[in-house]
Structure 1
């Protein structure tokens, strides 16, 4: 059960990072979706940590946000073993 919580928490933290980068660049969901090949409603789901995304989606987000893919993962994460 802890592994599921870790995964969910990781997705949430990743989503918060996407949202922070988007806000830092003053982009709306719609504007970001225009800059990459993703639907704005899907981006909203990624930001909420509701969806486990694919590698190709990470690429599209990095293109749309104009950051290196590693920047999308620049957040603190603590693993819970129990």
Structure 2
């Protein structure tokens, strides 16, 4: 798997986890926007796996969702398959 494909797969898994957490918190995109100061198009990019959030963004999203940032990165993914340095 090429580096770009592995990173794309990881971002997709992150986005699926983000969307799941938002749904569990019963928050709409507009509600998350108002607490994180992101517009819905940027936030939506993270959920569909096309955005590449910074650490600052991850902390801001977590704060808006009322969770610890580590929860956003707590999803199953085989890191052996995503060695981004290859």
TM-score (norm 1): 0.91
**TM-aligned CA deviation for residue 2 of structure 1:** 2.1
Equivalent residue number for residue 3 of structure 1: 3
Tell me whether 1:62 sits opposite 2:62 in the alignment: yes
Q: CA RMSD in A?
A: 1.6
For structure 2, which runs of at least 5 residues remain unmatched after alignment? none
Q: Which runs of 4+ in 1 moved over 4 A?
A: none
In the comparison of the two structures, how many residue pairs are matched?
82
**Conserved 8 A contact 1:36-1:63:** yes
For structure 1, which runs of at least 5 residues remain unmatched after alignment? none
Deviations 1:33-63 (A, max 9, x none): 1111211111111000011111111011011
